[in-house]
Amino acid sequence: MATVRTGDGDAPLTEENTMSATTTATTTTALPPTTGRRTDIAVRLLQIVLALFFALASAAPKLVAHSSATEGFDRIGYGDWYMYLVGDLELAGAVALVIPILAGASAIALMGLMIGAFVTQITVFDGEYAITPVIFFVLLAIVARVRRGRTASLVAMVLRGPTTSTRG
């Protein structure tokens, strides 16, 4: 008789055991990948540093219309509305970087902004500071990679939709 390995050892192969083993295997592969404690702490610290940079050094000058930001965006040619939009997106990304379930998604969104910043640096500013968005892209990619399990959980939660309680 065929056997199946269960948590309690080998058991005769039955429909119930097969279903249990299949469910266990499916559940195990669906769980988010785990990281070591040191990796988690290092990436959490990286998230905080990136959030501080995006909030204070990048978004704040745009949102208060500092002269350095307005001159740069005038040179781009889109006007003040675009400067405020980019500042808002950077600030939202900075806040989301420190919210555990949103950190990976925020890193991905900010990576998109860094692609735009890189293209702008190359096309408008002749590559003057083109390496800066590349460096931040790599750092954000590290956060996105390590936090991919949380991002998958967020996507699953969004796709599942609101849950309703049936209390009597």
Q: What is the pLDDT along the chain (168 residues), one digit of tens a residue?
A: 555 444 445 555 555 554 444 444 444 444 455 679 999 999 999 999 999 999 999 999 999 999 999 999 999 999 899 999 999 999 999 999 999 999 999 999 999 999 999 999 999 999 999 999 999 999 999 999 999 999 999 999 999 987 766 665
pLDDT of residue 65: 95
pLDDT of residue 26: 42
* Pairwise CA distance, residues 96 & 17, whole Å: 43
Determine how many CB atoms are found less than 10 A away from the CB of residue 34: 9
Closest listed residue to residue 47, CA positions, set 145, 155, 165, 139: 139
pLDDT of residue 14: 57
pLDDT of residue 162: 79
* Pairwise CA distance, residues 107 & 151, whole Å: 10
As beta bridge partners, residue 6 has 9
pLDDT of residue 106: 98
* Pairwise CA distance, residues 35 & 111, whole Å: 22
